[in-house]
């Protein structure tokens, strides 16, 4: 099972392809404000996460998630529930 820190590192890899990510990736980086992810970018990211961790991410959960750390915590919770 992946730790939250391992999930954060994996998310950095997924997010590195977005232009505004260069030099800005940290646990408290805000997905929308700092990285300027729009709804299409966010959907692409969620599909990558779902495929990688073999989980389903409810789209409505993103309303409460603003940072990489918060996203990693939610992924860890869903992975734990699946186990």
CA 75, CA 61: separation in Å to the nearest integer?
Answer: 11
Residue with tokens 């990558």: 48
pLDDT tens readout for residues 53-80: 999 988 788 889 999 999 999 999 999 9
Report the alpha-carbon distance of residue 76 to residue 79 in Å, rounded. Answer: 5
Round to whole Å and give the CA distance between 25 and 83.
Answer: 29
pLDDT in tens, 15-45: 999 888 888 899 999 999 999 998 899 999 9
Is residue 49 within 8 A of residue 2, CB to CB? The reply is no
Confidence bin at 50 (pLDDT 50/70/90): very high
pLDDT given for residue 23 in this prediction: 83
Task: Output the pTM of the full model.
Answer: 0.91
User: Which residue ranges form the domains of the chain, and what is each CATH number?
Assistant: 4-82 (1.10.1200.10)
């Amino acid at each position: 099972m992946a730790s939250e820190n391992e999930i954060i590192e994996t998310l950095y890899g997924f997010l590195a392809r977005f232009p505004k990510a260069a030099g800005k990736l940290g646990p408290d980086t805000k997905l929308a404000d700092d990285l300027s992810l729009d709804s299409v970018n966010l959907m692409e990211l969620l599909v990558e996460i779902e495929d990688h961790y073999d989980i389903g991410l409810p789209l409505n959960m993103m309303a409460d998630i603003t940072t990489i750390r918060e996203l990693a915590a939610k992924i860890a919770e869903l992975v734990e529930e699946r186990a």
